[in-house]
Structure 1
Amino acid sequence: MAIPPASSDAGSGRDPSASPPGPGCPAGAAEAAAAPRFPELYAPGVPFAGPELQSLAADGLLARFHQHGYTLPGLPASPQLRARAAAGAVPAAIRQRVVAGRMTAAWIYGCAAEPDRLALLVDAKRRVSSLRNTRGCTLHEVRLGPFDVISLGGLMVSSPLRTALDIALHVEPERAVPALAGLLARPQQDVRLRLLVRAIEATPRVPHKRAALEKLALLAPAFVAGGAVDVEDPVDPAHGAEDVAEVLGVAHLEREL
């Protein structure tokens, strides 16, 4: 695989065959417009196959970013970039019908390692039979409210509060507790322990409530004593975390990251 050799013109981002800037067009603006833009993410396929990407990474020209992709060296990871990486692993035909959730969402928010398989949520109101054979993904049929989902990096992702709720209820403690600690510790996620506890209490007919509260008790034993929580303002059974937000007047669930 050949890499184009560097030259003085190429190094400056100028095309040697390009015409000089026209009247009224500053030279700097023309050069900026002509400067090549490199993709932030590279996945096996076009323009490089998997072995070529590995070779570029070995030469220091790319850096491994996630399981199936690379990025330019020094490019800071962000929730938007991780969401874009996850979106690239979701088949385009179903990308607008699923929501990245659970540990996949925790990874997108920077609070967990990338999971081996994508966890995708499918709203119970949608037909999921056509999605059953999606490779590399685990599908979870759930009920989603309007504040349970945000748009991030071209992918629908469960909101930080909904992500924390699902992890507390459905993920084993050894993975759930560190992810919950990360979600609770980052102010930009705005996930508060008391709100999360109430969301768990408001979830209807879920057999994992006590186990979820026990996980939170490992993080804040003084607040969640033995999993028994005194809820002063009971919340009616809810299908999504937005019902808890309505009771407590939490506005942060209504915005996108």
Structure 2
Amino acid sequence: MATPSPPQHPDLYSPGRPFSWPELQALAADGVLTRFHQHGYALPDLQVSAQLRARAAANAVPAQVRQRVVAGRMTAAWIYGCAEEPDKLALLVDATRRISSLRSTRGCTLHEVRLGPFDVVSIGGLMVSSPLRTAVDIALHVEAHRAVPALAGLLARPEQDVRLRLLVLAIEATPRVPHKRAALEKLALLAPALVAGGPVDVEHSVDASDGAEDVAEVLGVTHLEREP
């Protein structure tokens, strides 16, 4: 007689899956579950992964628009485990898609952008900006007190494959994007701690032989947010 396998418990609990919101709160209060997302809970001994955070975020995006948006900026940094969860989801919408129909999406901020072929990855059923694109966007568009810790996290995790020099090159190679100097100043704050042998000279970090335009094309960061 075969030994019955132990019961399998879900790794993600959210309202209606299978417990109601009050039931989830009660289970968390009793220590049965741990809250790791605004509407996401897990068993206390479960190590929360990027896939699990992405699945929880996906549940907060209406199903009818989920395939048309990309989680980016601080939301992506949270999914990668490099930042606290933001109050609202940051969703990127490619400029080639119509954004007017998404304006009513609640609990999120929408950013119309241009996305390159290497800017998006799929994690846990949700499209997420790649680690490098995430770092570029955060450096350019997020205030320093939130951006610098998130950038430090992205740079410190080898599995994300975000390197400081590539990030500097990517930002310097983006044409006509405002806030480039402020972005480089944020990276300069990180350089002494993260680069062996001293800080990066961001003023002269791109040599003529680097081919900045080629670097930008290869990195897939030539298309960034359009500013008014």
* TM-score, scaled relative to structure 2: 0.88
Q: Post-superposition shift, 1:173?
A: 0.1
Higher mean alpha-carbon deviation, 114-123 vs 58-67, is at: 58-67
Per-residue deviation at 1:66?
A: 1.1
Q: Secondary structure at the residue paired with 1:105? A: helix
**Residues 227-242 of structure 1: pairs in structure 2 closer than 5 A:** 227-232=202-207, 233-236=210-213
Structure with more contact order per residue of length (Cα contacts < 8 Å, sep ≥ 6): 2
1:116-153 CA-partner distances (Å, limit 9, x unpaired) = 00000001111111001100010101110111100101
Aligned to 2:85, the other structure's residue is in SS state coil
Q: 2:211 is aligned with what amino acid?
A: P
8 A contact 2:51–2:123 mirrored in 1:
yes
Length-normalised TM-score, structure 1: 0.79
**Runs of 4+ in structure 1 displaced over 3 angstroms?**
221-225
CA contact (8 A) 1:101 1:158 kept: yes
Which residue is 1:93 aligned to? 64
Which among 108, 112, 137 is matched to residue 108 of structure 2? Answer: 137
Uncovered stretches (5+) of structure 1, i.e. residues with no partner? 1-20, 22-26, 247-257
What is the total number of aligned residue pairs between the two structures? 213
Corresponding position: 1:182 with 2:153: yes
Retained in 1: the 8 A contact 2:168–2:205? Answer: no
Q: 1:234 Cα deviation (Å)?
A: 3.2
Output the aligned Cα RMSD: 1.7
Whether 2:29 is the aligned partner of 1:58: answer: yes
Percent pairwise identity: 76
After TM superposition, the structure 1 = structure 2 runs for residues 30-179 of structure 1, keeping only pairs within 5 Å, are: 31-32=4-5, 35-179=6-150
Would you say the 8 A contact 1:79–1:110 is kept in 2? yes
Is the CA contact 1:198–1:244 (under 8 Å) kept in the aligned structure 2?
no
1:204 to 159, 172, 175: 175
- Structure 1 residue 46 displacement after superposition: 4.2
Cα separation, 1, equivalents of 2:22 and 2:8: 23
**Residue number among 198, 216, 219 corresponding to 1:245 in the alignment:** 219
